Homo-oligomer: A and B are copies of this chain.
Amino acid sequence: MLTDAPKAITLPRKLSREARQVQLIEATIETLAARGFARMTMGDVAKCAGLSHGLVNFHFHTKENLLAETLRYLSNEYCENWQAALAGAGPTAQAQLNALILADFNLAICTPERLAAWCSFWGEAQSRPLYQQECDGNDLAYRLQLQKICAVLVAEGGYCLHIERVARALRLTIDGVWLDLMMANAAYDRAEALATVYTLAASFFPKHFGVDGPLP
């Protein structure tokens, strides 16, 4: 039929279960970023997605569950991002650390919106063990991976460093610039944030990293 073409452009009224759920989770992220955890309502999410509020409950049953699914979605997305970056990097520890650092600056994942949504969960996490459990596994994997890479670098460079502490400082600084960038009063940009991380790497591993990135 001649009228088939437009259909491919407009959104169909009925979507498959999974497609609709992803749409609603993305709307949740957007709402969380715009309104914060405490003020996000189911109605906001529905309005943001351009759907009726009843549909949100149809797919997620409760607000609690919608938030849990959203957190899982974000956590998995983050995890897959750094794992893909690692898989695409060369075999050297230097290249791998660099890939890990750059992964966190991937524009697809590290949008202000997603950062704000993450931050919403952080603030409430302490009173909600449920949400912690959604991420602990992925977080642990990240930390161990980072430590393993640092250990190789220390061995290679003969640095006199406490591996765990070095890995921790690196991770906290990466997370920290994230948070700084997300705050409205951020006084520096993405490039400066990356430079800050490289400054740290260069200080810990001077044979592998300079202040502008990995040494040749």
Contact = CB atoms under 8 A, between A and B. Distances in A.
A13 interface: no
Interface in A70-124: 116, 119-124
A68 interface: no
Interface string A191-216: 01001100110011000000100000
A132 B179 CA distance: 13
Nearest to A37: B38
Copies in the complex: 4
A165 interface: yes
A76 to B, nearest CB: 18
Interface stretch (A3-11, A15-23, A168-176): A168-176
A119 B195 CA distance: 27
A37 B192 CA distance: 32
A195 B126 contact: no
A182 interface: yes
B203 A127 contact: no
Contacts of A39: 127
Contact of A168 (B122, B184, B196): B196
A35 interface: yes
Nearest to A120: B123
A165 B37 contact: no
Contacts of A120: 123-124
Q: Which of A126, A179, A200 has the most CB of B within 10 A?
A: A126
A204 B211 CA distance: 13
A128 B171 CA distance: 27
Given A126-B36, A203-B204, A196 B184 contact: no
Given A169-B176, A173-B176, A175-B176, 13 more contacts: A36-B124, A116-B126, A119-B123, A119-B125, A119-B126, A122-B123, A122-B179, A125-B183, A132-B184, A162-B211, A165-B195, A165-B199, A172-B180
